[in-house]
Structure 1
C-alpha cells in the first residue's frame, strides 16, 4: 500500500512560497514609494516575483512527494494552472497530481539498459504530459470557475454592505492563512486598485495590472463592485492579513506555557511577517492546533476587515504591511483595525488553549477526573 505524506507536501509547498510573497509584495510597495523609472522597475520586479507563486507552489508540492523527478511536471503544471486561471488552488492540486504521477512512474521497474534514459527523459516527459494535460483539460477550468464565482459573489455586495464585505474578506484571509481562499480575497482586493484613480495614476500602466495568480490583467477580470470600493477592500484584506500572525506572536509572548518550544521560537518571525502582511507567518501555529488557532484568527481578522471598511479606510499599495502606510487613507483607523484584530485573536487563542489545558490537567490528576470521583479524593 502506498503511503504518501500529502499533508507534509502541502505545508512544504506553502512554506516555499512565503519568500516570494514577501519579496514580491515589498518590492511592489517600494515601487509605489519611489518615483519615475526606479519605481517602475521595483514594482515590475515585485510583480514578476509574485507571479511565480503558483508555479513554485506546485513544483514544491511535487518535489516533496516525488523528489527531483517531481520538479519538471510540478513546475509545468503550476504554470498551466496560472495560465488557465486556476490560481493558488490549482497550484496545490496540480502539485499533488504532478508529484503523484512522478512518484508512481518512478516505481516502474525497467531493465538497467533503459533505466537511465527512462529516469532522465521518459519519466519527466510522461509525468509532465499527464499532470499538465489534466490541469489544462480537466482540472483547471472548474477551479477557475470556482474562483470566478467567489470573486463575483464578493463583487455582488454593494456599498451599503461595506462592513459585511470587510468581515467576509477578513474571514477569508484567515480561514486558510495564505491558501486558495485567502488568495481569492486578495485578488479581489487587488482588482479594486486597478479602478482606483489615485492608485492607478501612481503605477506603471503596462506593469501594474498583472494579477500575481493568473498572469491575466486585473482590469480584464476585476469585478464591477471593486470599482465602488477603490482601495477599501485592500485595506480590509491587509489589516486582516496582518492581524493573524501578529496575534499568534502576541499570544505566545503573553502566555508562553500554552505554546511549544518551536512556536515560541517562531514568534519573532511571525511578528515580522505579520507586520509586512505575510499571513503565512501564522501557519506554524495553525498546523499544530488548527481547531483553536484558525477560529481565533478568523475572529480577529474578520473584525479587522469590518472595521477597516466601516471607517472607509483605503490603501493604494497591493502589499507591504507597515511599509504601505504611506498610501493609507485614515491611517489611524487602519492601525486601530490591525490592533483590535490582533488583540481579539490573541485573547481568543489564549482562552481556547487555556480551557483545553485545564481540562487535560484535570483528567490527569490521579489518572481520573474529579467529576467521576464521588469522594473528591485524589
Structure 2
C-alpha cells in the first residue's frame, strides 16, 4: 500500500508523523479490486482508489479469491503512526453480482457490526458501514462498471478478521453496534493523534442517548468516574459518555444538541485544568496550574501560608491534601470554577450543568451545581 499522493513515506508536514488509512478506504480498495476481478478475471494489485479530497493511494492486496459469481479481496489496514486499535486488521470485501436494477447493496460479514439502536446516521438493522465509505464504494463500483460495460448491480459484504474481538476496545457496544467494528472514515485518511475517532464517538454517544430519550448525560474522564456517576445518579450505560480528555468536545456538541442535564465527572487534577480554562485535559496538551490552584484556594478561604504551600506542591493531589488538612474546600472551588468555564462554552444552551471532582479511589472531593453554595472561611 502506498502513501498519500503515491508515496508510502509521505508524512504530515506539521508533525513528521506518517498518516494512515481508514477502514472505509481499505474496504473501498478491497471492493474495487474484487469487482474488477469479477468482471475482468484478474485482480488489480496494487489497486488505486480516489479519496474524497482527491488523493489517490494504492493498496496492496493481502488476500484474493475468485469463485463462480463472486470475488473477494482483502487489504491490511495501515493506520500510519496513529495508535489505532484497527491497525493491522485484515479488511475483506466480497462482491456478488445482483439482478439488474438492484443497485449496490451492503452486507455485514464476520467482524462488522450491525446497528441496533436509533441515533446513528444509519437505520436500525443496517450494517455498520458509514455513509461516506458507502458512497466511496458506490462511486468506485460505478467507475469499474463503466469501464467494463456492466450495470454495477452488486452486493458488497464487508468483513474484518477478528473484528468482533477488536470492537470490545471501542464504543460500539455502548452505541448499540453489535457483532463487530464499524467501517468508518470521512476523508479516507487517518491523521495521527488527531483524536478525531474519539471525538466522533463522543458525538455519536450523545446522538444515541438522545434518540433513546435520555435527558441526563454524564461526561466521564475514565472508568472510575463512570462508577462514581453511576453510584450517584443511577444512570444507564448509554447515558455515560467516555469523555476522556475531551471536555471541550462534549460541551460543544451538547451546546448544539442540548439535553436537560449534563454532569461532568473527573479526577481533581484533570478538572483543575478545566477550571483554568483548558478544554483538552491531556497531560501533553495542558498542565496543572499550581499558582491558579493557589488562587482558588484563597477564594475558598485559604490563608497566605496555605496558598504558598499549595503553589509549591508537587502535584494537584498534594495541593488538595494540603487544603483538606486545613479545612479549605478546594475541591468544591475547583468544581465551581470548572462549571463556570463549562457554562461559558455552553453559551446559554438550555442545559443544567453540574460537576463532580473525584480522587483516585472515586470518592467525591468537590461538587458544583446550580444549588450548591461554596462555603468560604474568613481569614
Q: Would you tell me which structure has more helix in proportion to its own residues?
A: 1
Higher relative contact order, structure no. (Cα contacts within 8 Å, ≥ 6 residues apart): 1
- Higher Rg of the two aligned structures: 2
What is the TM-score when the length of structure 2 is the normalising length? 0.25
